Structure 1
Amino acid sequence: MTLEQAEAVIEACKAEAEAVGQPMNIAVVDDGANLVAFTSMDDTKL
């Protein structure tokens, strides 16, 4: 998975989180379970 693909996944997840009114922490991993990208929306807890 490329960083560009991971960023697209994050954007889709953020849109869904906003649609349901629930801020989220979003992690994207590759097929080997290695972290590719992570973001934490405002007002979330780690």
Structure 2
Amino acid sequence: MTTYTFFNHAGGVGKTSATRDFGYELASRGHQVLLVDFDPQGNLTSFLGAD
């Protein structure tokens, strides 16, 4: 199993969008993908409609 992490101390630099797009791309190529949203704002969860 390979683990990828998108991390940066600065806010507003596109980590959520990059994570969402990277996960989508891997899934579209047939990989199993688990995206975990540790952001207190929960933007990735909202993008994926998993509220």
TM-score, length of structure 1 as denominator length: 0.47
TM-score, scaled relative to structure 2: 0.44
Structure possessing the higher relative contact order (Cα contacts under 8 Å, 6 or more residues apart): 1
Q: Higher strand fraction: Structure 1 or Structure 2?
A: 1
